[in-house]
């Protein structure tokens, strides 16, 4: 079945540092890929997405490129702020009979940015 | 989030009692989902609905039931609450469909349930 694997957290880094969160997937066919962010005490919000190979999703300074050859969708940001402290979830959607198009989420990666 | 509300936001209940959580949407979306979030497990799908009176099980459905009698409401019931069901519960909605550029979930703010 479909699955998403994320790097374990927490990831702790200083303000203005470079952030990378690794995400790899296993899926049938050609899934769409997503990054969601959860701020403390809130629900998840869509951060960015990519629907086909080599697409780059971007939002709020974050970027992720859909790499079919490595089945990856790593999230990056060049200079993080304290306000980026959150839990980040990688997710995929594949249109197969079993998955029915539902989102499959990774376990989440907590990011802590210190001043 | 705008268009989707969960109630209650917090609840403490005793083991063995039934509990119902409500998810209400004003977006007229076809699909609704219930997830639980636990440390180390991320989000796990409990049940989902693809239309009024159309529901199906997710990966962790034991001990839970759902109902959807109207497009806007999706109820999650813990038939006899246990301590293992202490968790944060999230509802999500989506319009579904095949247009990937429009696809995504909108999440509610969550219900923190404690079973003592």
Is the CB of residue B109 less than 8 Å from the CB of residue B35? no
**Sorting pLDDT into bands at 50, 70 and 90, what band is A27?**
confident
The pair phi, psi for residue A56, each rounded to 5°, is -115, 125
- Average pLDDT of the segment spanning B69-75: 97
pLDDT at A7 over 60: yes
Collect all residues of chain A within an 8 Å Cβ-Cβ radius of residue B108: 43
Q: Tell me the per-residue pLDDT of A68-99, one tens digit each, with 9 for 90 and over.
A: 999 999 999 999 999 999 999 999 987 665 55
Contact call for A44 and B45, based on CB within 8 A:
no
Is the CB of residue B94 less than 8 Å from the CB of residue B100? no
Closest CB from A49, A106, A108 relative to B104:
A49
Q: Tell me the per-residue pLDDT of B74-111, one tens digit each, with 9 for 90 and over.
A: 999 999 999 999 999 999 998 766 555 556 788 999 99
Q: For residue B68, what are its two tokens?
A: 């959807």
**Number of DSSP helices (H) and strands (E) in chain A, helices first:** 0, 12
Whole-angstrom Cα distance, residue A56 to residue A89? 17
pLDDT at B53 over 90: yes
Residue B38 to chain A, least CA–CA distance (Å): 9
**Sorting pLDDT into bands at 50, 70 and 90, what band is A29?**
confident
Contact call for A42 and B109, based on CB within 8 A:
yes
Whole-angstrom Cα distance, residue B113 to residue B45? 16
pLDDT at A44 over 70: yes
Q: Does B7 touch chain A (CB under 8 A)?
A: no
**Sorting pLDDT into bands at 50, 70 and 90, what band is B47?**
very high
pLDDT computed for residue B89 by the predictor: 97
Collect all residues of chain A within an 8 Å Cβ-Cβ radius of residue B107: 43-45
Compute the mean pLDDT over every residue in chain A, rounded to the nearest whole number.
91
The SS3 call for residue B33 is strand
Residues listed for chain B: 116
Q: How far is C-alpha A89 from the geometric centre of its chain's CA atoms?
A: 5
């Amino acid at each position: 079945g479909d699955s998403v694997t994320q790097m374990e957290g927490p990831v702790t880094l200083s303000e203005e540092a470079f952030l990378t969160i690794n995400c790899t997937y296993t899926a049938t066919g050609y899934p769409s890929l997503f990054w969601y962010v959860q701020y403390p005490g809130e629900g998840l919000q869509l951060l960015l997405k990519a629907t086909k190979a080599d697409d780059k999703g971007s939002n709020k300074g974050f970027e992720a490129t859909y790499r079919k050859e490595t089945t990856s969708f790593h999230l990056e940001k060049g200079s993080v702020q304290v306000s980026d402290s959150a839990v980040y979830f990688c997710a995929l959607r594949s249109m197969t009979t079993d998955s029915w198009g539902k989102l499959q989420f990774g376990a989440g990666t907590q990011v802590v940015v210190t001043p | 989030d705008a268009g989707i509300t969960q109630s209650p936001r917090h609840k403490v209940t005793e083991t063995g009692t039934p509990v119902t959580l409500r998810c209400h949407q004003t977006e007229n979306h076809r699909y609704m989902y219930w997830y639980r979030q636990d440390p180390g497990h991320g989000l796990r799908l409990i049940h989902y609905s693809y239309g009024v009176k159309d529901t199906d099980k997710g990966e962790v459905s034991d001990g839970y039931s759902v109902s959807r009698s109207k497009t806007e409401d999706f109820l999650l019931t813990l038939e006899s609450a246990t301590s293992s069901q202490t968790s944060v519960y999230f509802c999500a909605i989506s319009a579904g469909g095949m247009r990937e550029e429009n696809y995504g979930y909108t999440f509610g703010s969550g219900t923190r349930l404690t079973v003592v």
